[in-house]
Amino acid sequence: MQTKEQKNAYCREYNRKKRIDPAFRAKRNKASLCCYYKNPDKYRALSSAGHKRRKLEVLTHYCGETPYCQCPSGLCDVVDLEFLTIDHINNNGAEHRKLVGGMNFYRWLQKNNYPEGFRVLCYNCNCGRFRNKGICPHEKHPKAQAEITETLKVL
Ligand SMILES: [Zn+2]
Ligand SMILES: [Zn+2]
């Protein structure tokens, strides 16, 4: 019978071998390259400075000079541009994606004169909302969460 210690050591060794295994690395690189070739425009757009500038323009349009997460609970204080994203307020993300097609979403918003029905949310609130029937988990327990935030401030 293996002890926990032995098991962990085995896992560590296994992962280490895998990391330095050229065959495994080649396979993984190939997988990410495939993604790139399937969608080169998207990847180029994502990595360009122009994309960042455009994103900032769109975010500031929807929430003012310093973009922040507009979670309705008021409990989220994410302001990092990298974490912020545009949220479809009425939850028709899938439908909307069809409409926009392959076009860059931020570009689409600009081209369409910043339509209503969008707001800025961080990825956390966005995903939380998606998994929680359209309500950010923050909103579910606003009071409990507020108390936690208060306690954390005191600590
Ligand atoms: Zn948030
Ligand atoms: Zn939230």
Nearest ligand to the CA atom of 129: 2
Residue 23 pLDDT greater than 80, yes or no = no
Q: pLDDT tens-digit profile of 105-143?
A: 899 999 999 999 999 999 999 999 888 888 888 887 656
Report the separation in Å between the CA atom of 91 and the middle of ligand 1, taken as the mean of its atom positions: 16
Q: Which two tokens stand for residue 20?
A: 């330095």
- CB-proximal residues (5 Å) to ion ligand 2: 71, 76, 125, 136, 138
φ, ψ at 145 (rounded to 5°): -65, -40
Q: Which ligand is nearest to the CA of 69?
A: 1
Query: In the 8-state DSSP scheme, what is residue 85?
Result: E
Taking the CA of 83 as reference, the closest ligand is: 1
Q: Is the pLDDT of residue 29 over 90?
A: no
Q: Could you tell me the pTM of the whole model?
A: 0.60
Name the closest ligand to CA 80.
1
Ligand nearest to the backbone CA of 139: 2
Cα-to-centroid distance, 41 and ligand 1 (Å):
28
Q: Does residue 86 carry a pLDDT above 60?
A: yes
User: How confident is the model over 33-73, as pLDDT tens digits?
Assistant: 655 667 766 666 556 788 889 999 999 999 998 999 999 88
Residue 74: name the closest of 139, 151, 154 by CA.
Answer: 139
